[in-house]
Amino acid sequence: MKVLFFVDGERKMLKKRERILTFIGCGVVMFLMAGCGSKENITQAMSKIGELNYQEAVDLLAAAEEAGENEKLIARGRGIAYMGMAQYDEAEKYFLVALDCSNGIPEDMDYDINLYLAAVYTKQEKYAKAEEVYNSILALKPKDDDVKFLRGIARLKLDKYAEGKEDMDQVVTHDPKNFERVLQIYEAMEAAGHKDAGQGYLTEALQNYEDQMSNFIKGRMYFYMGDYQKAYVALEEAKKDGGVEAYLYLGMAYEFTGDYNYASSVYNSYLAKEGDDARIYNQLGLCEMKKGEYVNALAAFQAGLQVEENTMKQSLLFNEIAAYEYLGDFAQAKVLMNKYLSMYPDDVAAQREARFLATR
């Protein structure tokens, strides 16, 4: 069984594409002041979405519909909630309903909904449709580098390398010191099978601006370049600030060189000093799996699931099932897989794994 990693996410693009799309979702209640009439249930629903309580949000939005609250906001909220539950077909349907409520004159909310819709198309691997949405947005906002970057991802996934790279080149040219974006471009290039080209962006940034980068940025760049010695040095300095991601990348750098014991110590050090963090628990569990310590891995995944407001819940649940499989407890794995699929029915990898478990 394949476990879900902290890094793409899809490797990074499955899980950490959330990071790439972060700007879409910030401020989930940003449009609740639009229009007129009561929005009490909608407001509560969006708060629940902010707390990651998606099913409660769906229930509140049903109450909002019964109360005659704003139809467009209800559809948008349902789309976001179903997206959070990885029910992408439902999310797509409701985002399209929300857009049908528009008056034909593009507004900020329509821009926002289109971004969500394109993100759903990306999750469904409908990259041509995502590109079409981004083209429409850029026709109205041609200088939006965030959208241009996302279109570049879609084009790379469509094997339109030249067009995708052109988008990425323009984004970097407009803001060459946006080092986070340079890292995201590497991640997108690597996920699309163009690792060398992605590393080219990192090399150029390091050559021109290394003295202007934080230790954390440098550490990540060297990590992706495969220069783990330089990554260690920079990330050891970066973790002094207590940032969780510095610990994560430092630990993963040691994992990549096969030093799983030291990597585990890095993750445990964070937990001892800074307290619980779902991402650390997930990566610790994955590291313990590599060591063959499946009991320890299971304990780490389960500890991560106890962390409140947990954005790693799906990965942790999936990885918990994997741990039970490695431990030979297929009965418990089946029980948890059924529960998992009730929450994330569109997860193709989980559907495939469920078929395997049915034979055990």
Q: Tell whether 72 is covered by a domain.
A: yes
103: confidence class by pLDDT, cuts 50, 70, 90: confident
- Confidence (pLDDT) at 10: 34
Query: How many distinct structural domains can be found in the chain?
Result: 1
- Confidence (pLDDT) at 240: 86
- Confidence (pLDDT) at 16: 36
Of residues 34 and 271, more confidence is placed in: 271
Q: Tell whether 212 is covered by a domain.
A: no
Q: Tell whether 7 is covered by a domain.
A: no
Q: Tell whether 231 is covered by a domain.
A: no
Q: Tell whether 48 is covered by a domain.
A: yes
- Confidence (pLDDT) at 225: 96
- Confidence (pLDDT) at 20: 32
219: confidence class by pLDDT, cuts 50, 70, 90: very high
54-70 pLDDT, tens digit per residue, is 999 999 999 999 999 99
Q: Tell whether 319 is covered by a domain.
A: no
CB 73 within 8 A of CB 46: no
CATH of the domain at 45: 1.25.40.10
Neighbours of 245 (CB within 10 A): 17
- Confidence (pLDDT) at 108: 87
- Confidence (pLDDT) at 191: 94
37: confidence class by pLDDT, cuts 50, 70, 90: low
Structural domain of residue 94, as residue ranges? Answer: 17-124
Looking up tokens 């949405």, which residue turns up? Answer: 133
- Confidence (pLDDT) at 38: 64
Average pLDDT, whole number, for the chain? Answer: 89
Q: Who's near 107: CB < 8 A, 6+ residues apart?
A: none
Neighbours of 266 (CB within 10 A): 26
Mean pLDDT of 96-124: 92
Q: Tell whether 112 is covered by a domain.
A: yes
214: confidence class by pLDDT, cuts 50, 70, 90: very high
Q: Tell whether 104 is covered by a domain.
A: yes
174: confidence class by pLDDT, cuts 50, 70, 90: very high
Mean pLDDT of 185-195: 96
105: confidence class by pLDDT, cuts 50, 70, 90: confident
Find the Cα–Cα–Cα–Cα dihedral 263, 200, 22, 159, rounded to 10°: -110
Evaluate if residue 192 carries a pLDDT over 90: yes
CA 4 to chain centre: 12
Mean pLDDT of 15-32: 39
Q: How many residues does the chain have?
A: 360
